[in-house]
Structure 1
């Protein structure tokens, strides 16, 4: 079930548009605003919303915090703190990834509640929500801005909200063994023509096999690599011929 997204007392219309856009990116459409600023059609909210200006943003509901608590399973979004089990305002918390896993197991009307740009949700507000969710970040600077926090969170929940994510059309089939063995043969030729110490060549070949084996290259990739190594081998051999010719004079 797709969660709703609520923003409590947002100060900057542009952040509302940014979050609406992130909702559109990751398949969500139910936006709630608690005491929002004026949202103008030609202002920053619509400017930052991109395609979400056509559906997510104009269809937002203005609600109170009480309404969220009374009608939804509430998840308060907050920065991590140094609190521990002795205090339960912001602890324990789940990460967005853990939240996605837990919501996948239940059917309940959920709302993700994001706080104010300057100071987030108050302790009183956090005390009223059902659970707290935080994004792990550097202890030196754990606070993300509002738009970043919402985008990261909604991305982690995408499996709940997007039936099929759009992925780039990339060739993923591994090159066949004949192509890969051909590359090894060309590489072995380069070791010989470049004067790599003969006693070290078996070790070098094992190393390159391990590297290529871990990489699982595509046919195009191994063909390109083989072409580069072949060209290097040709240059090495041509250089040897020139040196031999000069020495014979």
Structure 2
């Protein structure tokens, strides 16, 4: 075990189940399960119109006839400017810093843990931050079914959970099919910005991205496009305690 109480060795079992299109139907492998069964976690049957909350379930018919309104609401938000997405924003420090620095851009942040999402939701309401929406849904479902293709110019996936155990491999953000969904959400030449503190996961990320054929190889020069980003809270802890951070910038191929 490392000093952080996590396994020393990151492993990949090719025979273990992985995330695929069928998981979108069954909900298995989606963090938190089917998004249409997560309403009790957020406490809202429908996202309140005075809150910057994005819910996948709002976009599908449920008998009250409001789904078209929510779809138009999302379309209007996306039309205001270039979009950045952060998947798994944790305490939100990185996301909020980007939102404040770039009022000309739109941001959607995904975080499954409601107590963390609520903190950022309140910040967005109190400051206010009209260019930020947050969601407690699994971003993979949103990218597959809810958000339009090519909607984002930048995606941030910063220190994602490596899901150490074999039986949890299907939950990893970087699987063959999940990478296809990330690419689907990015516009041509859009940037996929990834950081991890797990060496084995860093290797897997490069391998899966390369095998997809949807991105150019990691290019350090793209860091200049995100030169004003800050470390996440966890990342800062890693620096202070001597743990390396592996950072990648992958550019979506035009095709």
TM-score by length of 2: 0.28
Higher Rg: 1
TM-score by length of 1: 0.29
Structure number having the greater strand percentage? 2
